[in-house]
Amino acid sequence: MARLRVGVLISGRGSNLQALIDAAADPRYPAEIVHVISNNAAAAGLARAERAGIAHSALPHPSRAAFAAAADAALRQSGAELVALAGFMRILDDSFVAAWRDRLINIHPSLLPAFPGLHAQRQALGAGVKIAGCTVHFVRSAVDSGPIIAQAAVPVLVDDDVESLARRILAAEHRLYPMAVRLYAEGRLRISDDRVAILGAPAAAGVLFNPSPAC
């Protein structure tokens, strides 16, 4: 059975890209990464793609429209069927979002719709929430909006700072993103009225309390 062809857009270190690369290394995984694109020629994630033998490009970003046209052309040439944003730190042109509608996903370090935009972990700490997490969603033109595919929650600890909370959330991201791509590749996602139904997905068991009910 043919594997889903995935293009990945990055801007920096590419740790979520690496999680996808690692998942795709298993021949049973239903997706493969065919092209990695960065708006930053110095992005460490490009080296990750090179080590994995994946085609990669650094594209200039003179404007949103120019980058969108170049990225769209490169992705289509690679035969990409799904585009995954993995730490891509620019707002995409509306034309790109429209062209890849329902084939463009993102991961964000908060439980959306809470704390969209930059510095989500700092926003969470500032709000005093007891539970934070990450979200994979289909992309729409508004920043960090769109139908939610999957989420993972982590506790916020009393001594957390931005860095420690970010590390805990990132560990969850590395598990959540490959799962979401797998669900897409298996054809198990259905979008209706801006909500995503997942075919054959059992409900999550248990409840995350913070603080513990034993306190």
Catalytically active residues are 108
Classify residue 30 by its DSSP letter.
S
Name the residue with tokens 């992705």.
75
Q: In whole angstroms, how far apart are CA 205 and each of 86, 201, 202?
A: 28, 12, 9
Write the burial class of residue 74 (CB in 10 Å: 0-12 exposed, 13-18 middle, 19+ buried): middle
Q: Which tokens belong to 85? A: 């944003």
Q: In whole angstroms, how far apart are CA 106 and each of 55, 127, 146, 211?
A: 20, 24, 9, 30
Q: Beta strands of the chain (E only): which ranges?
A: 4-10, 31-38, 56-58, 82-85, 104-108, 131-138, 148-155, 189-192, 195-198
The answer to whether 58 and 43 have CB atoms below 8 angstroms apart is yes
Q: Can you tell me the distance from the alpha carbon of 58 to that of 188, in angstroms, rounded to the nearest whole number?
A: 32
Beta partners for residue 58, in sequence order: 38
